[in-house]
Amino acid sequence: MSGVRTRRQAAAISSPATPSPAARDTEMTASGNGSAHHEIKEIYPKENVFLFWPNIIGYFRIVLAFASLYYMPLHPRTCSILYSISCLLDALDGYAARAFEQSTRFGAVLDMVTDRCTTACLLVFLSSAWPRWALIFQGLISLDLASHYIHMYATLIMGGGDSSHKKVDKSRSWILNLYYTNKTVLFVFCLFNEVFFIALYLLSFSSPYLSPSLLEVKKTGGASSTLQPSSGASAASMLLANPHSAAALEFARANKMDSTIPWIIAGISLPIMAGKQFINVVQLVKASRWLAEGDIEMRRAAGLPRKNKVK
């Protein structure tokens, strides 16, 4: 019996005990030989990017912008308030994105598209309010859209899909680096750029110096007279059957508000607005050059231009 026990003990020592299935799976996973379904994965809650708080704020901005456009032709005070709130919420969505850790590429695109569209709509109205200056407003719309589109496109193509259009290296442009990385600078330029255009919008209702033709009313005999401002709205309902007609617009704009405050706001915000347009020009030029650098690299990689063989 003692001899048998000795042989069994020796066999147990020479061959280790068979591990359990759980222990074998753990060992295979640790050694890299286990299959994927044995790996431990973190479980994240299901998220809907469209319902993130920054994006909800963005949707609210769009609603306010549409409301301001509805009131824009005939109700300057209501329109200005709604438009201003929509612009101010542009800063709030950034804080919400950082506070709730909900920064997304969709949110960044939504924010940029909303900014461009609302500004363009206001400038379109200014073009119709002041036809003699329409070319300038159309040029500002084109510059704003072109510079931001080319800048974002160049960032995605040259910087990679994970790059942000707000991350601009100092070596490429110190002005754009300061503009996009310093939140205070970005807020001030964007705010006063919109404030200037709002002031021009208010002046279209209040300044005969900019739009003197708004006060001229044609008489049946061909002579013209000056329509004096009045506070009553009953005359408009008596003379104009359709309150949304072009005649109603002219009549409403002739019933003026005081122009002192809009002139002061326009004078203060004009230099900053001009600086914002200069930044747009720099952004357009830098982005175009960056894309051109990428084109040269691609052509060199493809062996272009082809060299003519000398016989």
- The residues annotated as belonging to the active site are 115
Q: Say if CB 197 and CB 124 are below 8 A apart.
A: no
| H, E, C per residue of the chain | CHHHHHHHHHHHHHCCCCCCHHHHHHHHHHHCCCCHHHCCCCCCCCCCHHHCHHHHHHHHHHHHHHHHHHHCCCCHHHHHHHHHHHHHHHHHHHHHHHHCCCCCHHHHHHHHHHHHHHHHHHHHHHHHHCHHHHHHHHHHHHHHHHHHHHHHHHHHHHHCCCCCCCCCCCCCCHHHHHHHHCHHHHHHHHHHHHHHHHHHHHHHHHCCCCCHHHHEEECCCCCEEECCCCCCCHHHHHHCCCCCCHHHHHHHHHCCCCCHHHHHHHHHHHHHHHHHHHHHHHHHHHHHHHHHHHHHHHHHHCCCCCCCCCC
In the block, residue with structure tokens 């990679």: 160
Distance, CA of 26 to CA of 32 (rounded, Å): 10
